[in-house]
Amino acid sequence: MSEVILQLQKRLGETQLDVDLRLPAVGICAIFGRSGAGKTSLINLISGLTTPDVGEIHLAGRTLFSSSQGIQLPIEQRKIGYVFQDARLFPHYTVRGNLNYGVTDVDPEYFASVIRLLALEPLLARYPRDLSGGEKQRVAIGRALLSKPDLLLMDEPLASLDMPRKKEVMPFLENLAQHFRLPILYVSHSMQEILRLADHLVVLEQGKVLSAGPIEQVWSSKAMRPWQSFSEQSTLFSATVAKHHQTYGLTQVRLAEDVWLWVQQVEADVGSSVRMQVRANDVSIALDKPTASSIRNILPARIVAIEHQQPSKKSVSLKLELAPHCYLWAVVTEWAHAELALEIGMSVFAQIKGVSVAQRDVILTH
């Protein structure tokens, strides 16, 4: 499958939306930023609800829009599904009627797969008034999927739901992209949703792309600092479950070649791929390797960057290289930074308590 290629500009009041992106052909790409950053405007341009001033939009090898070639496919020809904040179901149709609305190519096998994935079978004869908020959104997602889209756009689909309903819908969202092998652009202002769902992350600010790439890379970038307080700064790792220590309730995961970490027991099989969050304030620094310590993880590292936080915080962020292309962030006090005379290029030991990384910090990936 081809990448999603977006090269477009659009004047939005006083803001100029200017985007140049190549997004993966499969997986969930989160579009993140402040209110007014241009997130919803961007996906509306892709869908055809609005038109770029200039630029190109390419999807699945097709040109949807090109100002230079005079191409502007109408909405119905773009093969794009759109899920809004509110479900927008027809109140006088049953769930089955809503799902079938507008479907011209009836495929019983595909219909059954959508119903099965979203667990909609018990709802088919019911009307929207009899559904919970989470059930309505599952129906809306199903309706979008039944159009057999090349791309699924989701504009904060969980924003109107309370926490129990969000937890109800989240597992279904996790399985969508991989099951149907399509790209999903997911607009959200929730860091927890992004952390759990996204494979790729785009950060927008006043219509411009601050950062874009795999979530593990963008999450730790400067673009995310405004949303991460001292206690929230963290590193994301793509890891593999290596083994379980049943006696002590611990799991060993592999972060990179010769980089291993013990964490609280993870409910996943050996060999499973996981995404793991390590909070920067759970990482301490030693100049010499401790010989007797309760800390289970003592990793050799090299300091590759030092960032001094705001004066009121009196803290320092350290970027540590554990292996080529494998980095860990740590936060220490200015006092510790000065007393240890920490400098870029120094070899140190990063210490992480095994109990500091729990099941809530580990997400099973595909």
Q: Which of 83, 94, 165, 162 is nearest to 128 (CA)?
A: 94
Q: How many CB atoms lie within 10 A of CB 327?
A: 20
Is residue 191 domain-resident?
yes
Residue-averaged pLDDT of the chain: 91
How far, in Å, CA of 261 to CA of 300, rounded? 12
How far, in Å, CA of 166 to CA of 164, rounded? 5
The predicted structure's pLDDT at residue 174? 85
In the chain, what percentage of residues exceed pLDDT 90?
A: 73
Q: Is the pLDDT score of 64 beyond 90?
A: yes
Is residue 204 domain-resident?
yes
Do 190 and 250 share a domain, yes or no? no
Which residue, of 182, 215, 248, is where some domain finishes?
A: 215
CA quadruple 155, 161, 163, 167: dihedral positive or negative? negative
The predicted structure's pLDDT at residue 72? 97
Do 196 and 271 share a domain, yes or no? no
Across the range 265-284, mean pLDDT stands at 92
Stretch (H or E) spanning 57:
strand 54-59
Do 98 and 157 share a domain, yes or no? yes
Is residue 133 domain-resident?
yes
How far, in Å, CA of 322 to CA of 349, rounded? 10
Do 208 and 252 share a domain, yes or no? no
Do 258 and 138 share a domain, yes or no? no
Q: Which of 107, 279, 24 is nearest to 99 (CA)?
A: 107
Question: Cα-flanking dihedrals φ and ψ of residue 72, to 5°?
Answer: -150, 90
Across the range 44-67, mean pLDDT stands at 97
CB 272 within 8 A of CB 318: no
The predicted structure's pLDDT at residue 105? 77
Do 133 and 263 share a domain, yes or no? no
Question: Cα-flanking dihedrals φ and ψ of residue 224, to 5°?
Answer: -95, -5
The pTM of the full predicted model, rounded to 2 decimals, is 0.89
Do 122 and 180 share a domain, yes or no? yes
CATH of residue 69's domain is 3.40.50.300
Is residue 223 domain-resident?
no
Across the range 191-214, mean pLDDT stands at 93
Extract long-range pairs of 242-245: CB within 8 Å, 24+ residues apart.
242/270, 243/270, 244/270
Do 60 and 200 share a domain, yes or no? yes
Q: Which amino acid is at 242?
A: A
Q: Is the pLDDT score of 211 beyond 90?
A: yes
Domain that holds residue 32: 4-215
CATH of residue 265's domain is 2.40.50.100
Q: Which residue has the higher pLDDT, 104 or 159?
A: 159
Is residue 151 domain-resident?
yes
Q: Which amino acid is at 12?
A: L
How far, in Å, CA of 351 to CA of 286, rounded? 7
Do 120 and 264 share a domain, yes or no? no
CB 284 within 8 A of CB 329: no
Do 57 and 201 share a domain, yes or no? yes
Q: Note the pLDDT tens digit of each residue in 291-350.
A: 888 999 999 999 999 998 766 667 899 999 999 999 999 999 999 999 999 999 999 999
Do 126 and 54 share a domain, yes or no? yes
- Per mean pLDDT, which range of 55-64, 262-271, 356-365 is the poorest? 356-365
Which residue, of 215, 249, 279, is where some domain finishes?
A: 215
Q: Is the pLDDT score of 366 beyond 60?
A: no
The predicted structure's pLDDT at residue 102? 77
Count of structural domains within the chain: 2
Q: Note the pLDDT tens digit of each residue in 133-192.
A: 999 999 999 999 999 999 999 999 998 888 888 888 888 888 887 788 899 999 998 888
CB 332 within 8 A of CB 316: yes
Do 209 and 295 share a domain, yes or no? no
